[in-house]
Structure 1
Amino acid sequence: MQPQYFTTPRTARYISLGEPGSGTQHIWFCLHGREQSLQDFASQLVNLDTPERLLVLPEGLSRYALPALGTTPEIAATVANWFAPDSIDADLPDVTTYLDSLAAQVLAACPPNTPVTVLGYGHGAAAACRWLAAGNIPYDRLVLYASIFPAELNRRATLAALPKRPVTVITTTTDSFTPEVAGEGLVQDLEAAGLSAQLRYVSEGPLTLAALGVGAEGASGPAASEQ
């Protein structure tokens, strides 16, 4: 018995911290980690939520309830994944179509050439790279935070397909994550793909612009960047 595939429209969810409009000076698309709720992810980005910055947090298409620990099993958090290990080849094109459509809608509501940063956390880093490798959406900068690329996904081939944009790799100074998220090997793969990569270390907790380094956001849109 072999599984069959059928393509059908889906209704996805996302959180917008800020509203797109003429006052938007920076746009961030932020992709959450595996089994992470949008509310939890938003709490990690609270320091980036300022009036001039629009944060768009899409939710993965695989959404389900994660029972809470303790004596109140009726309380559950809704979490999501970007892909399943046994269906990555089918899931990632769906993710690309979804994020392309959402990004096009957001960009159309903001001033032309507004600088765009894409942040991927955990498995969201792998999803972000595959999305951007398709080359359909202009962006200025990619941030990969505690990145996890599943074994089923060819990391080097994915990175080689990325547009030539600066990449910041962020890894934690704590032991709360597995060694898989260590950034040194990822930086090496990015540089081997011809990309400019910087490694930064942060402590656990809300992400700050300072952690991203000077020039965390582009001064001009991707039209001025090298393709």
Structure 2
Amino acid sequence: MRQHWISTEQEQRMDVLGELTSATKHIWIGLHGYGQLVEFFQRPFRDLETEDRAFVFPQAPHKFYINGVSGRVGASWMTKDERLKDIENQKKYLTTVLNWAHSKAPTAHIHVLAFSQGVATVMRFLGHSPVAISTVLAWAGSWPLDASIVNLKALSKINFQGWFGDNDEFIGRQKQIEIQAYYKNQFELDLDVSIYKGGHKLNQVILISEIARLEQIIR
């Protein structure tokens, strides 16, 4: 048997909150976590769009039934099967998303807010973006230990803010400490990290404050 790969053209869902125009100053690209859909992930942000700010939520390309063969559907950015090919496809997909957003609001700053699996997704994309990324707000997600030199060089030049929960059922405090230590010792990157009270979920109160603070940094 010989394995072949072919290129295909597909359409993917992308939800947008707010208007992307020449007046838009900040675009937040929201990357959801494993098993989520943008229809639900974007709900905490519905009241946060302004004349200056818009949100773009691309949906991960792999969809599946959460339990069995029917019922609730979720989406995933990648799996362990052909993971390197998935990572390459992620880059192509996010490139298309950022090019589209930039074409609508060419003077806006691009920020990425990533949750859970979305964190590793954006961190592997850094350095490959056709449009400058000003900020990464990484929420409750593991940082990839296989980050490339290209990723790390880009990461060192942006505003990065990590957040972990003190009671996260997927990324416990010990793992959080190990991830930070690995990036500091292996990559010489001492990234900013804060801790919130709670588990593996978004905290809307903190998000509102962080979005405003991170936008203010680059004004």
What is the CA–CA distance in structure 2 between the aligned matches of 1:201 and 1:155, rounded to whole Å?
23
Normalization by structure 2: what TM-score? 0.81
What is the CA–CA distance in structure 1 between the aligned matches of 2:126 and 2:181, rounded to whole Å?
19
Matched, 1:206 2:200: no
Matched, 1:119 2:117: no
Matched, 1:13 2:5: no
Matched, 1:160 2:149: no
Specify whether residues 190 and 217 from structure 1 end up closer, same or farther in structure 2 by C-alpha distance, changes over 3 A only: farther
Aligned equivalent of 1:184: 177
Matched, 1:171 2:168: no
Aligned equivalent of 1:41: 41
Specify whether residues 81 and 213 from structure 1 end up closer, same or farther in structure 2 by C-alpha distance, changes over 3 A only: closer
What is the CA–CA distance in structure 2 between the aligned matches of 1:155 and 1:115, rounded to whole Å?
24
Task: From 88, 94, 101, give the equivalent of 1:93.
Answer: 88
Q: What does residue range 17-166 of structure 1 map to in structure 2 within 5 Å?
A: 17-46=17-46, 48-67=48-67, 76-112=71-107, 114-149=108-143, 154-155=146-147, 159-163=151-155, 164-166=157-159
> How much does 1:137 deviate?
2.4
Aligned equivalent of 1:224: none
The residue type paired with residue 173 of structure 1 is: D
Normalization by structure 1: what TM-score? 0.78
The residue type paired with residue 206 of structure 1 is: N
Identity across matched positions, percent: 20
> How much does 1:210 deviate?
5.5
Q: Deviation string for 1:100-136 (max 9, x for gaps)?
A: 1111111121141x22211221111111011123243
Q: 4+ residue stretches of structure 1 with deviation over 6 A?
A: none
Give 5+ residue unaligned stretches, structure 2.
Answer: none
Which of the pair has the greater relative contact order for Cα pairs under 8 Å at 6+ separation? 1
In terms of fraction of residues, the more helix-rich structure is 2
> How much does 1:89 deviate?
0.8
Greater Cα shift, 42-51 or 2-11:
42-51
Q: How many residues align?
A: 213
Specify whether residues 20 and 90 from structure 1 end up closer, same or farther in structure 2 by C-alpha distance, changes over 3 A only: same
What is the CA–CA distance in structure 2 between the aligned matches of 1:31 and 1:132, rounded to whole Å?
14
> How much does 1:25 deviate?
2.1
Aligned equivalent of 1:217: 215
Secondary structure of residue in 2 paired with 1:133: coil
Is contact 1:159–1:189 with CA below 8 Å preserved after alignment?
A: no
